[in-house]
């Protein structure tokens, strides 16, 4: 039971949020300084990132449960809203606790990073509050949190700032000036592509695709080709951005290690495209891909630690 939970999409997505944030913190340590202040900022940032990801998961659960409840109600069946075997009241309690925890840890990290600049701290807090309110408004008003441009913006933004924000906070707390480095940008856009890829695969529905000797409508053919093209584009984009960030900002040899780590993921993407009609296989492929995305983040942290040891 524990193994099944650990190797699930939910657990691995939380782990990916954690490793993304840890990678951003590692970039901040690499370009900034390592002291008690920056370590506290890094720990608070990681906890805040995990809490935000958990809050998004709970919002998605509520959205799905409410949609199913409304369908039952339209069919004349009155059922309570049950979210993964818990009541809505209990879910709201959990979301409230996580929201408070994320707010506390995020505020501590921002205060330690921008305490010397009240104006910068005020703007950072303002945009953070606006982002949280926008996410909560969208989650509570839409029955289809996983669909549409809104979901893409939310998950793409979370993926991007999971790398950018920790590095920016650590650099600011280090007192070495405010800057965002090329490898940080490359990894941030790579994380964005992975986030959008995960979102899209989780949304794929079962459909039969016959490739040869079968008459198909233009809509069916176009839909399959666009699905495959979208998956391939996002995956290749994430790989190229990550490898280029390593090759240009660090050592070319290290990028070979990263490419080696992407070999199994490439194979799983290939299998996913070849079998787009099996929901269970999609879930398994997504779990396998998320696992190796986490491994590649750990490899990146090892690269940064190695370079930091060599140059310092």
Model confidence over 265-306: pLDDT tens digits?
Answer: 898 888 887 766 666 677 788 888 889 999 999 999 999 998
Composition of the chain by helix, strand, coil, percent to 5: 80, 0, 15
Point out which residues pair with 83 in neighbouring strands: 86
The single-letter DSSP state of residue 277 is T
Range of the domain at 43: 2-311
pLDDT score recorded for residue 195 = 87
Spatial contact of 277 and 227, defined as CB atoms under 8 Å apart: no
Compute CA 187 distance to the chain's CA centroid, rounded to the nearest angstrom. 12
The highest-confidence range among 9-13, 106-110, 281-285, by mean pLDDT, is 106-110
Q: Which residue has the higher pLDDT, 177 or 222?
A: 177
Q: How many domains does the chain have?
A: 1
Is the pLDDT score of 206 beyond 50? Answer: no
Spatial contact of 24 and 45, defined as CB atoms under 8 Å apart: yes
Least confident range from 73-82, 121-130, 165-174: namely 121-130
C-alpha dihedral (300, 250, 240, 235), degrees to nearest 10: 10
Query: In 10 A of CB 12, how many CB atoms?
Result: 21
Least confident range from 67-71, 178-182, 201-205, 301-305: namely 201-205
Residue 282 tokens read as: 């999609």
How many Å apart are CA 304 and CA 142, to the nearest integer? 41
Spatial contact of 13 and 52, defined as CB atoms under 8 Å apart: no
Q: What are the CA-CA distances from residue 8 to residues 61, 154, 301 (Å)?
A: 15, 22, 24
The owner of tokens 């695969």 is 201
pLDDT score recorded for residue 300 = 92
């Amino acid at each position: 039971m524990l193994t099944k939970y650990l190797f699930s999409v939910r657990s691995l997505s939380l782990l990916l949020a954690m490793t993304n944030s840890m990678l951003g913190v590692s970039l901040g340590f690499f370009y900034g300084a390592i002291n008690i202040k920056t370590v506290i900022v890094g720990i608070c940032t990681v906890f805040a990132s995990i809490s935000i990801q958990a809050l998004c998961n709970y919002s998605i659960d509520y959205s799905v449960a409410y949609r199913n409840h409304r369908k039952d109600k339209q069919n004349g069946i009155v059922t309570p809203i049950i979210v993964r075997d818990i009541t809505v009241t209990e879910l709201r309690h959990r979301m409230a606790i996580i929201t408070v925890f994320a707010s506390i840890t995020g505020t501590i990290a921002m205060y330690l990073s921008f305490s010397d600049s009240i104006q910068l701290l005020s703007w950072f807090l303002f945009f953070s509050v606006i982002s949280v309110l926008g996410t909560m408004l969208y989650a509570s008003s839409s029955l289809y949190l996983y669909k549409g441009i809104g979901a893409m913006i939310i998950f793409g933004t979370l993926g991007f700032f999971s790398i950018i924000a920790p590095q920016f906070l650590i650099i600011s707390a280090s007192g070495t000036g405010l800057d965002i480095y090329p490898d940080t940008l490359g990894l941030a856009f790579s994380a964005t592509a992975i986030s959008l890829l995960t979102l899209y695969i989780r949304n794929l529905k079962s459909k039969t695709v016959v490739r040869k000797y079968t008459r198909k409508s233009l809509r069916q053919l176009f839909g399959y080709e666009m699905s495959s093209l979208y998956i391939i584009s996002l995956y290749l984009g994430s790989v190229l951005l990550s490898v280029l960030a390593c090759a240009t900002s660090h050592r070319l040899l290290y990028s070979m290690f990263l490419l080696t780590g992407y070999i199994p993921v490439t194979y799983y993407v290939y299998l996913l495209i070849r079998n787009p009609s099996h929901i269970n296989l999609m879930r398994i492929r997504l779990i396998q891909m998320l696992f190796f995305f986490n491994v590649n983040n750990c490899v990146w942290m090892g690269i940064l630690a190695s370079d930091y040891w060599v140059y310092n």
